[in-house]
Structure 1
Amino acid sequence: MADAIVSVVRVSRDMGGVLRAWLSKVSSVVTPLGWAMLAIVPLAFALGYSLGWMELVVVAWAGLVLLIVASVYLVGRSSFTVSLGTAHSRVLVGEPASGSVTIANPTRHRILGATVEVPVGSALAAVAMPSLARGAEFSHEFAVPTGRRGVIQIGPVRTIRADPIGLVRREIIWTESQDLYIHPRTIGVPSTTTGFIRDLEGNPTRQISNSDVSFHALREYVPGDERRYIHWKSTARTGRYMVRQFEETRRSHLVIALSLASSDYAHEDEFELAVSVAGSLGVRAIKDARAVSVVVSEKTPDFAKRKVFAVSQLSTLTRSRLLDDLSLIDLDESALNVRDVARVVSEQVAGISVAFLVCGSKTTPNELRAASASFPVDVEVVAIVCDPEVVPGLRRVAGLSVLSIGYLQDLQKSLARSAAA
């Protein structure tokens, strides 16, 4: 009895698994219209024959014929090969971009036509593939919209087999999806080693160090000083141990902080200009082989108990990596504003020489002064305000330079005038 029960349980479990797999396959190909037809046909048969309603019987038989014809479209397998390609993986915003899908028939018999769909971001490119003879190939090129900065997912390519009425729909995925990065527009700016940045690489600063390469002065020996820095001639002359003091030298470290807070911008065009400004400065710093950090505001998660004070650091290994990361960012109401970003950057990033704070027109002068006060006094702070409605210009206040631009070209001209001055 126990063996019989175990056998029944095993058989029922296996049959249940097969039934679930079959139902899963059926549900994946039957459309809502098909499910409605499957419910109407048996009901029409039952009511038509029981009530003697011949019109309803005719409807039932017609529906049954449609279901049989629709099931024929699901029979068979497609044996062609599909490949997806894009001309470029990275393009500049506004530049033309395209992709292509190629279908080949490697079999010995003709393949019937099918509908090929290629998702392009939120849009869909539908291609009607004709019948392909043995060894034939079909290619179709489609345009990719690049009017807005971001990342567009292209694919995966899928073929659609469906009946003319739309009772069944069978989708087969053939390729993986590909990402197309739409970079922000950038412009060539003067070298970041001139103009605003004064402590060039290897030049001494005003900070005194016990060990460096730039000699500053002599002082008396105190316990803990290294003996190799004792100046013996001065020691013999004064009768007291005298050690050398140095001016600290360091490599210039640029920080480009971009605010993602929607409260700092009047509209989206200002934010896109700010992204282009941050990209232009970062690309120039990478080209000059300088130490640079590009940071953006961190967002506070929904339903968080308190505001998140943090920044996200973008990749500055190469120009393409930086522009890829800039393609992914967007405005957010919960992101830190420029004042909080400056405070977090001053606490987390060490050795800053110059800080560029990029924001929009809704940032007030008081907020900019408060942001500048977060940095040490030896850090040159430059606020770049993106406002298409303002006359470009540069004004200097205590510890802060405010650069107002209306177009991306204004950044190049203003920095060039500053370097010349």
Structure 2
Amino acid sequence: MNVDTPLPSNTADAKAARRAAKAARKRERTAARAAARRAKRRGGVSESQAPAGSSDATSGPGTAAGEEPLGLRERLGGFWMRRIHPVLDVISPIGWAVLGVAVACWILGLLLRITELNVIALTLTVPLVLAALFVLGRTSYKVNLDLQSHRVVVGTRAVGRVEVANPTQRVILPSRIELAVGQATAQFMVPRLAAEQSHEELFAVPTKRRAVLVVGPVRSVRDDPLSLMRRQVTWARSQELYVHPRTVRLDGAASGFLRDLEGTPSSDLSSSDIAFHALRDYTPGDDRRHVHWRTTARTGKLMVRQFEETRRSHVVVALDNLADHYASEDEFELAVSAAASISAQTMREEKELTPFSFDALQRTATFRVLMDDYTVLEQLRDRHSLHELGQQAADLAPNASAVMMVVGSHTTARELNSAANQLPIGVLAVAIRCVDDAEVRRSSIGGLDVVTLGDLDALPKALRAVGR
């Protein structure tokens, strides 16, 4: 199956939809103008206080004259869209050119009695007649488009199938089926189908980059060898395929770096931490292991220990998605994968997570929606300063214990220092600087740890370097 053929941008269905929408808008504007004219006529008669009888004589015929053309236009428009437009839309641009030349030759040849023009007209008419025979007739298919999974990771193939069945009691001749896949089309032939017979075709979509691909719709196509006429019918709607960024698991020492984060101090009261705070009256549902029996014996009522939560881990993953800060598309994809990997590991360890970029806050309800948000993330062409990223991190998570900023190779040390200065005091700040094919190395700018990353597989090693 070929998926490298460019997808036609002016398909029959697309043009029909655009023309139908345009006709609907035109009808709405016409109806609004007619209503405005009728309201103006009624208002004009009332204000001028016309004599009795003159109002009926003016408004009656005027209204009828205003409404009748409107209804006629609607009927003509509906007839055009239902009957004429589908027939004319079958002819391709090449077919229209051939038809125009043939008509001109016929007219000039017959009027001027030039035999050569008549021969040319006949020569051009014969292919048009044969092309019409190719597209005549109706085909009744039942088509099912089934994707094995609507979410895959970059580098893996998305597998699906198209099932074409003949639901009628007559034989359907062979035809060609087109399946749109992103900006390309896959084509395959459907053989002759007897009554109640079906044909199944498997396909695989290679995924080289992070994207949201639209698979479908499925169309049956009938055309002639010269492409003078083309008739297509849509049978199955399109479906979305999410190609998630590639991520790596941060096991071992790298995962331990996130696991050992102490968090930030908290003044929230709890009944199950290690810092004793005070005693309080027992309430139904309290753990009896926390009952303070000496105080209970002295006061004559149950008293339980109340604790204070000591520290709470909260990781912020701030992704710089400004296009000016990256040397290439691959460098930005590396940054997205690094941010997604850290976010995924934080979620697996059930820590509080706040992932965001300049223009979006990624959702953390489930792992799937988190990866979906990273899939649709795009580079910004706007002008922003990197210190805004640090300010957003401080505003979104003022009690964060660690802020991981993922930036590009064009980010300067001054910009990184400016962003780090916006973070609250005591926060562990790490900048992961993504550079194509660079070796892992660690440096520091004030209180900011800077790690250079050149390959996604080296991310665990880079985090181990920070953890030392």
- Shared topology, TM-score over 0.5? yes
> Alignment partner of 2:312: what SS?
coil
- Contact 1:387–1:404 (CA<8 Å) still a contact in 2? yes
Q: Equivalent residues in 2 for 1:25-44 (5 A)?
A: 25-44=86-105
Q: 1:20 aligns with which of 71, 80, 93?
A: 80
User: In structure 2, what is the equivalent of residue 160 of structure 1?
Assistant: 221
Matched AA of 1:283: A
Deviation digits for residues 238-277 of structure 1 (CA, Å, limit 9, x no counterpart): xxxxxxxx97745322110111112222222221211111
Deviation at 1:189, TM superposition (A): 0.8
Name the structure 1 match of 2:390: 342
Q: In structure 1, how many angstroms separate the alpha carbons of the residues matched to 2:116 and 2:213?
A: 53
Q: Are 1:282 and 2:343 counterparts?
A: yes
What is the alpha-carbon distance in structure 2 between the residues aligned to residue 383 and residue 417 of structure 1?
Answer: 12
Task: Report the counterpart of residue 33 of structure 2 in structure 1.
Answer: none
Task: Give the partner amino acid of 2:190.
Answer: M
Residue 25 of structure 1 and its aligned partner are, at CA, apart by 2.0
User: Counterparts of 1:42 and 1:397 in 2: how far apart (Å)?
Assistant: 78
- What is the identity, as a one-letter code, of the residue corresponding to 1:185? R
Q: Deviations over 1:210-261 (max 9, x none)?
A: 97784689xxxxxxxxxxxxxxxxxxxxxxxxxxxx9774532211011111
Counterpart of 2:374 in structure 1 is: 326
Greater mean deviation of Cα atoms: 131-140 or 69-78: 69-78
1:374 aligns with 2:434: no
Aligned to 1:155, the other structure's residue is in SS state strand
In 2, the alpha carbon distance for the partners of 1:347 and 1:47 equals 78
CA distance in 2, matches of 1:4, 1:371: 71
Counterparts of 1:197-276 in structure 2, within 5 Å, are 200=262, 205=265, 214=275, 249-276=310-337
Cα distance change, pair 399–350 in 1 and its aligned pair in 2 (3 A): same
Q: Which residue of 1 aligns with 2:111?
A: 50
Deviates more, 1:350-359 or 1:19-28: 19-28
Contact 2:258–2:346 (8 Å) recurs in 1? no
Partner deviation per Cα, 1:361-404 (whole Å, 9 max, x = no partner): 22111211111100110211111111245431233443211122
How far 1:34 sits from its partner (Å)? 2.2
Amino acid in structure 2 at the alignment position of 1:134: A
Any idea what SS the aligned residue of 1:275 has? Answer: helix
CA deviation vs aligned residue, 1:117-168 (integer Å, no higher than 9, x gap): 1111111111122221222222222231211121211111111122232222
- Sort the Cα spacing of 1:371 and 1:72 in 2 relative to 1 into closer, same or farther, 3 A: same
* Distance in 1, Cα, partners of 2:340 & 2:70: 64
**Equivalent AA in structure 2 for residue 20 of structure 1:** W
Give the equivalent residue in structure 2 for 1:126: 187
Given candidates 257, 263, 269, the residue that maps to 1:195 is 257
* 1:297 maps to amino acid: F
How many aligned residue pairs are there?
A: 375
Partners of 1:69 and 1:15 lie apart in 2 by 33
SS at 1:157 equivalent: strand
**Pairing of 1:83-102 with structure 2 (within 5 A):** 83-102=144-163
Q: Which residue of 2 aligns with 1:383?
A: 431
Of the structure 1 ranges 372-381 and 347-356, higher mean CA displacement relative to structure 2 is found in 347-356
Partner of 2:8: none
CA shift digits 1:186-230 (9 cap, x unpaired): 1111488843676646xx72x7x597784689xxxxxxxxxxxxx
Alignment partners' CA distance in 1, 2:444 and 2:67: 88
- For residues 61-72 of structure 1, the aligned pairs below 5 Å read 61-72=122-133
Residues 6, 193 of structure 1: CA spacing in aligned structure 2 closer, same or farther, 3 A cutoff? closer
**Structure-2 change in CA distance of 1:377 and 1:197 (3 Å):** farther
Quick check: 2:152–2:244 contact (8 Å CA) kept in 1?
A: yes
Give yes or no for the alignment of 1:76 onto 2:151.
no
The offset of 1:73, in angstroms, is 3.6
Q: Could you say what secondary structure the match of 2:128 adopts? A: helix
Is the Cα–Cα contact under 8 Å of residues 151 and 181 in structure 1 kept in the other structure? yes
- Say if 1:338 and 1:359, in contact at 8 Å, map to a contact too: no
Q: Distance in 1 between matches of 2:77 and 2:242?
A: 44
Describe the SS at the equivalent of 1:266: coil
CA contact (8 A) 2:431 2:451 kept: yes
Q: Deviation per CA, 1:57-85, whole angstroms, max 9, x where unpaired?
A: 12323433433333334433211211112
User: Aligned ranges for residues 108-123 of structure 1 at < 5 Å?
Assistant: 108-123=169-184
1:189 touches 1:416 (CA, 8 Å); kept in 2?
Answer: no
Matched, 1:412 2:453: no
* CA–CA separation in structure 2 for the residues paired with 1:335 and 1:174: 45
1:316 is aligned to 364
Post-superposition Cα deviations, 1:303-337, rounded to whole Å, max 9, x if no partner, equal xxxxxxxxx11122222221222122232322645
Is the CA contact (8 Å cut-off) linking 2:438 and 2:455 kept in structure 1? no
Q: Provide the aligned C-alpha RMSD in A.
A: 3.0
2: distance between equivalents of 1:354 and 1:340?
Answer: 17
Change (3 A) 1:364 1:7: closer
1:353 Cα deviation from its structure 2 partner: 1.6
Closer/same/farther in 2, CA of residues 66 and 400 from structure 1, 3 Å limit: same
Structure 1 portions without partners, runs of 5+: 218-245, 299-311
Q: Percent identity?
A: 34
Could you tell me how far 1:54 is from its partner in structure 2?
1.5
Structure-to-structure mapping, 1:137-152, within 5 angstroms: 137-152=198-213
Segments of structure 2 that go 5 or more residues without pairing to the other structure are 1-59, 279-306
> Counterpart amino acid of 2:142?
T
Q: 1:335 to 1:132 in 2, by over 3 A?
A: farther
- In the other structure, the counterpart of 1:222 is none
Give distance in 1, aligned partners of 2:128 and 2:177: 24
Q: Is the 8 A contact 1:264 1:337 kept in 2?
A: no
